[in-house]
Structure 1
Amino acid sequence: MVNQETNSYRLTGLSCTSCSAKFEKNVQALKGVREAKVNYGAAKLTVTGQASIAELEQAGAFDHIKVAPEEEMSANESQDSVSFWRENRNQLIAAVLIALAFISQLTLGGTGFLTPLLLIVAILIGGYELFIEGFKDLIKLDFSMATLMTIAIIGATLIGDFAEGAIVVILFAISEMLESYASDRARQSISSLIKVAPKVATIRRHELEQTIAVQDIQIGDVMLIKPGQKIAMDGVVIKGNSTVNQAAITGEALPVDKKISDDVFAGTLNEAGYLEVQVTKRATDTTLAKIIQLVEAAQGERAPAQAFVDKFAKIYTPFIILLATLIVVVPPLFFGGDWQRWLYQGLSVLVVGCPCSLVISTPVSIVSAIGNAARHGVLVKGGIYLEEIGKLQAIAFDKTGTLTEGQPTVTDFVVVDNQLDEADVLQKISALESYAQHPLASAILAKSHKRGIDATKITIENFKSLTGRGVQGDMSGVTYFIGSSKLFSLSSETADTYQKFHQESKTVICFGTSEQVLAMIAMRDTVRPTSRQAIEALQSLGIKTTVMLTGDNQATAEQIGREVGVSSVKAELMPADKLQEIQTLQRRFEHVAMVGDGVNDAPALALANVGIAMGVAGTDTALETADVTLMGDDLAKLPFIVRLSRRTLRTIKQNITFSLILKVIALLLVIPGWLTLWLAILADMGATIIVTLNGIRLLRVK
């Protein structure tokens, strides 16, 4: 029976995309491995089947890849801090031998055998591992970087250019080190996320306090979290009050107040008070764990630009080999050229034509951008969506819970009879509403709590719900009503006040007795503080139209639309109508995004080119359904991700253009015979390092 078990491993030392593909192929060829997948962006290997760590590391020996089980990442990091000397011993010895060879050249004037001997030894020591890998690939007819470099170095040695061969060995080693360093920098966003949550936590289980590993914590355990400690698991507060810094999850700059019944997330920092938190998710299911999984999956997906480059590279590499062959053969055979000279030029073309910089130009940019977005509380599910965001021309917004808070808030409280005490009236209203179960009642209770009014001091008798109209109850022998205006007979004054609130698109409820209205409360779903700022920023970025799509009535929709500054408003829409509006926008603008809450707007989110969900601090539905999730429900992050996406597209185009132009210039140097081996590798190395560093700059976009 074939082993179907799937295991994930963290990789260190993975230096380039071609090395990633080669490592994947090597692991796939291992006996017992059914399937292998390497995620270059996340430096992660997933294996279905059976293979030991030693076998996996042997498969990656060509690139000095180290492998460790995913759950042992932190331990692996401490073990794998290999010294610079051990890691690069052969290359350092080769560099010393080359230096001695040049000293010998200067002192002996180029005579004798010492100088060439030192250079040959330097080539053998410095290029030993490279040659082994190059010959293995050559036998398989796999024209990798190692193959091209091996042919070039041995060719240079055979025609007596020992110094050129030795310098190419050292420059190639430097190139590999710098590329590996730059790739690790691009992956820092993932490694920093992995390190965010503590590995152990203090819990109370069966009345006993103990500190245990997070993998052993069970749902229902109670975590004890002191001020200044990080929260290890997702859970709900059952005791205490505090402020919690949620920047690692939501990207919010300011700490958030937490009280009993509030959710907290693994990886966040408890700042002020003591909390007891009941665990609601296992370590592998926390919001942070899901974020890491989503970001890693996104970084492993190929963006359209990367798919194009990969296809181009498959044609480009054979073309370069053919061109190099023609350069070696044609001039001597048909134009009486010198064989040695044109062999040397052909070898130089092989080196400069290596597609490294071209192949890495896109993935390093995508990895950096997606990692940066995640660090700021924006989850992008793949390079395809990151590219699509940069092309957006129209964005549609749901109203409730997206442009607005999604919860009614008291905007006006009017006591009709001036002789009544306002606080006393609000206390009676709150006492009656404390028996009700609807959002409007919650808004009134929140208003009374903010003013320090204690509604529990009043006893309600004979409470009754009046379906569709409101509630009633007795206080001190008097029956009071609260609810729709239909419960009351409005005087001309109260009718005018009611009409004024209604014209302002506010929901109005009345409070009073069977004889008269005593007070009126106006409520409205309030606009998010960042909505108008976000819309204005998007318009300044060149988004051609912003549309609000809502099922609410036209008057309310237009009022909210004016407040937030959208280009147009479409009201009284059913879910199917929202779909049609998205289709209409796509016909006009082609690239359209829909921003919603990830639940009610699922069809429209799915149809849009990019579905952007308000994350509600990481609800499972939002994380799973949307192409992009705003973790902190902060619309101000929307202009940020549009800017980041456009910067990413620009960076990819810059990298591809620069890489190709540099190679064309270097190839043109063949015509006058100015292209040397060391110049060729400097051009290739320079292009690779420059495009990598240019991609890494995306980590710094604010």
Structure 2
Amino acid sequence: MAEELKKSYFEVLGLCCASEVALVERILKQLNGVQEISVILPTKTVVVHHTHVISDVTIVEALNKVRLEATVRPQEQSNFQNKWPAPSTMFSGLFLALSFLKYVYHPLEWLALVAVIVGLPTLILRSIASIRNLTLNINILVLMAVIGTLALQDYWEAGTVVFLFSIAQWLETRASYKAMATMSSLTSMAPQKAIIAETGEHVDVNAVEMNTVLAVKAGDVIPIDGIVVEGKCEVDEKMLTGESFPVTKELDSTVWAGTINLNGYISVKTTALAKDSFVSRMAKLVEESHNKKSRAQRFIDNCAKYYIPAVMLIAAAFAVIPAALRLPNEDYWFHLAIVVLVSTCPCALILSTPVVNFCALSKAATTGLLVKGGDYLEILAKVKTVAFDKTGTITKGEFVVTNFQVISDDVSLNALLYWVSSIESKSSHPMAAALVEYGRQHLIEPKPENVEDFQNFPGEGVFGKIGGKDICIGNRRIRSRAGCAAEIEFQNMEGKTNGYIYCGATLVGTFSLSDTCRSGAMEAVEELKSLGIKCVMLTGDNHAAAMLAQDQVQI
């Protein structure tokens, strides 16, 4: 039986561009127990699949021998602490700035040399490590440029190169952490703790085995995929399915990790491990998409293997050939060779494509769009039709009251709003929040303390006693709870959720709620149409709600 592999994440701040990926792979492949290596360059992350023969500490030590500044990072977590550049970078910049005062006091020009001395050690150590591993990268190019500039006794330019290179690496690291933070928000949907139904014990979700019965209380996020074995509730699946309205879950219903139990208590029998849950599979898909290089990225990576040696040969030619031919002004040609080294550093070329791909993939994931890889991003340039998800994209994903009216002459509008907002304030349903907010807009403040015998009926509505009156609020099915035998019809608000209010067995009011379109949605659709792109809408919502959204944005 094959030994189980462990998946470890490492932050490698010394990674600059794709030319250093080969260095990381060469180092790690020599280690016993390492099976697979994946480098996510934009976030300076190295993912290693390895056996338990080798520890995370050993891997970190191997990377740090070549000054790659590696540390172990818990999976999908990232905490950027270096809000300020390293002290050596800041002192290098300070001395470089003070060297400008040479125009006031000439000896201060030597402070530029101090700026070089302060900022150069890290660059030297990384260059030596790269040479030992037979790898050419940007550190060697910059070091050669600095040495050449010092040979020309142009200390101010040497200090400028050292400082700008150091500050650029710091800025790149900050950008990498921000990109990783965007991606990490995807995995924070599911909780890290679960409650065992039998004992009430709180345990880590990764320790929960298959077929374990978990307790999920009202308001809690479901921790692991499973099947309801007891209880009934309504679940908000908006983040996963796009369904704007809560879905009723009862015996034998399937629930997914990351969705929210809005009301009621349910017992869930797990059908997957935490690492195999729906949310985890989403995160894995995003991670895999980052590792799948686009056609353009693969082309640039192949060019990078020959690019740096070619640059060094060209720079050497500028320095050696004029000297061999004894052309005049040798310093000019030597200086030109240094300019070639600095100006042709490959980071901008090599890093631009993966950074763009990473940012696009991560941003898309946080908005609910999963792209398989960079190749598919490039295909977007050829797209002629765009399909939009409705909930949360075309619409806000939030309920608002669009109609509220009194049916009975014996009840005033303010009294009806007071009953509804007070009773609904005791419910966690998103529709309840919309009704309470509607009451406040009409200067009616809810008083939940005046509500007695509050009851919640998942999939139907709520009941409460207020002012000695029995009030039922909900959909058509709440009629039977209220004891009303007659089916009362009123004008249907197409595309909206209709609600009914009963006082005893008498229908006294109705209301409608809808998920309104985002501001700017119509403008976005019109802009795409002006580019010759056809727009269509996809939704898991009901047909009437889809038609209402279609009419609003003319999609």
> Above 0.5 in TM-score?
yes
- Map 1:231-242 onto structure 2 (within 5 A): 231-242=222-233
Deviations 1:354-409 (A, max 9, x none): 1111112211222222223322333222222332344245899xxxxxxxxxxxxx
Query: Which runs of 5 or more residues in structure 2 are unaligned?
Result: 388-474, 481-516, 549-555
1:142 is aligned to 2:141: no
Deviation at 1:284, TM superposition (A): 1.0
Deviation at 1:148, TM superposition (A): 0.3
1:26 is aligned to 2:27: yes
- From 245, 249, 258, the counterpart of 1:259: 249
**Distance in 1 separating the partners of 2:237 and 2:253:** 13
Equivalent in the alignment of 2:10:
11
Deviations 1:494-524 (A, max 9, x none): xxxxxxxxxxxxxxxxxxxxxxxxxxxxxxx
**Distance in 2 separating the partners of 1:356 and 1:196:** 35
**Distance in 1 separating the partners of 2:296 and 2:262:** 44
Moved more, 153-162 or 40-49: 40-49
Deviation at 1:197, TM superposition (A): 1.7
- From 55, 58, 74, the counterpart of 1:55: 58
Q: Helix, strand or coil: the match of 2:54?
A: coil
- From 179, 193, 197, the counterpart of 1:186: 179
- From 237, 244, 267, the counterpart of 1:276: 267
Deviation at 1:47, TM superposition (A): 2.8
- From 86, 95, 98, the counterpart of 1:97: 95
Q: Is the 8 A contact 1:230 1:268 kept in 2?
A: yes
- Map 1:426-445 onto structure 2 (within 5 A): none
**Distance in 2 separating the partners of 1:285 and 1:159:** 61
Q: Is the 8 A contact 2:243 2:539 kept in 1?
A: no
Deviation at 1:451, TM superposition (A): 6.7
- With over 3 angstroms needed to count, the CA separation of the structure-2 counterparts of 1:131 and 1:535, relative to structure 1, is closer
Equivalent in the alignment of 2:446:
none
Query: Which runs of 5 or more residues in structure 1 are unaligned?
Result: 397-448, 455-529, 547-563, 566-613, 618-633, 637-702
Equivalent in the alignment of 2:447:
none
Deviations 1:551-583 (A, max 9, x none): xxxxxxxxxxxxx99xxxxxxxxxxxxxxxxxx
1:337 is aligned to 2:328: yes
**Distance in 2 separating the partners of 1:539 and 1:282:** 45
Deviation at 1:298, TM superposition (A): 1.1
Structure of larger gyration radius? 1
- With over 3 angstroms needed to count, the CA separation of the structure-2 counterparts of 1:67 and 1:635, relative to structure 1, is farther
Q: Is the 8 A contact 1:248 1:375 kept in 2?
A: no
Deviation at 1:191, TM superposition (A): 1.1
Deviations 1:304-333 (A, max 9, x none): 111122223334333322221222233444
Deviation at 1:5, TM superposition (A): 4.7
Q: Is the 8 A contact 1:201 1:211 kept in 2?
A: yes
Q: Helix, strand or coil: the match of 1:24?
A: helix
Aligned residue identity for 1:142? T
- From 57, 69, 74, the counterpart of 1:64: 69
The structure with more helix, counted as a fraction of residues: 1
Deviation at 1:300, TM superposition (A): 0.3
- Map 1:455-494 onto structure 2 (within 5 A): none
Equivalent in the alignment of 1:374:
365
Equivalent in the alignment of 1:108:
105
Equivalent in the alignment of 1:559:
none
Q: Helix, strand or coil: the match of 1:219?
A: coil
Equivalent in the alignment of 1:88:
86
Q: Is the 8 A contact 1:41 1:300 kept in 2?
A: no
- With over 3 angstroms needed to count, the CA separation of the structure-2 counterparts of 1:154 and 1:185, relative to structure 1, is same
Deviation at 1:127, TM superposition (A): 1.6
- With over 3 angstroms needed to count, the CA separation of the structure-2 counterparts of 1:199 and 1:263, relative to structure 1, is same
**Distance in 2 separating the partners of 1:4 and 1:540:** 57
Q: Is the 8 A contact 1:53 1:68 kept in 2?
A: no
**Distance in 1 separating the partners of 2:92 and 2:235:** 54
Equivalent in the alignment of 2:117:
124
Report which structure shows greater RCO (CA 8 Å, sep ≥6): 1
Count residues with an aligned counterpart.
Answer: 412
**Distance in 1 separating the partners of 2:131 and 2:193:** 49
**Distance in 2 separating the partners of 1:286 and 1:269:** 15
Q: Helix, strand or coil: the match of 2:8?
A: strand
**Distance in 1 separating the partners of 2:239 and 2:25:** 32
**Distance in 2 separating the partners of 1:131 and 1:347:** 17
Q: Helix, strand or coil: the match of 1:189?
A: helix
Deviations 1:458-494 (A, max 9, x none): xxxxxxxxxxxxxxxxxxxxxxxxxxxxxxxxxxxxx
RMSD of aligned Cα (Å) = 4.0
Q: Helix, strand or coil: the match of 2:185?
A: helix
Q: Helix, strand or coil: the match of 2:202?
A: strand
Q: Helix, strand or coil: the match of 2:186?
A: helix
Q: Helix, strand or coil: the match of 2:321?
A: helix
1:155 is aligned to 2:158: no
Deviations 1:207-235 (A, max 9, x none): x2111100112233333333333221112
Aligned residue identity for 1:93? F
**Distance in 1 separating the partners of 2:144 and 2:266:** 65
- Map 1:584-663 onto structure 2 (within 5 A): none
**Distance in 2 separating the partners of 1:350 and 1:255:** 60
Deviation at 1:240, TM superposition (A): 4.4
Deviation at 1:275, TM superposition (A): 3.7
**Distance in 2 separating the partners of 1:245 and 1:133:** 51
Q: Is the 8 A contact 1:4 1:48 kept in 2?
A: no
**Distance in 1 separating the partners of 2:50 and 2:294:** 25
Equivalent in the alignment of 1:518:
none
Aligned residue identity for 1:88? A
- Map 1:243-642 onto structure 2 (within 5 A): 243-250=234-241, 252=242, 254-260=244-250, 261-334=252-325, 336-392=327-383, 542=532
**Distance in 2 separating the partners of 1:266 and 1:290:** 11
Aligned residue identity for 2:205? V
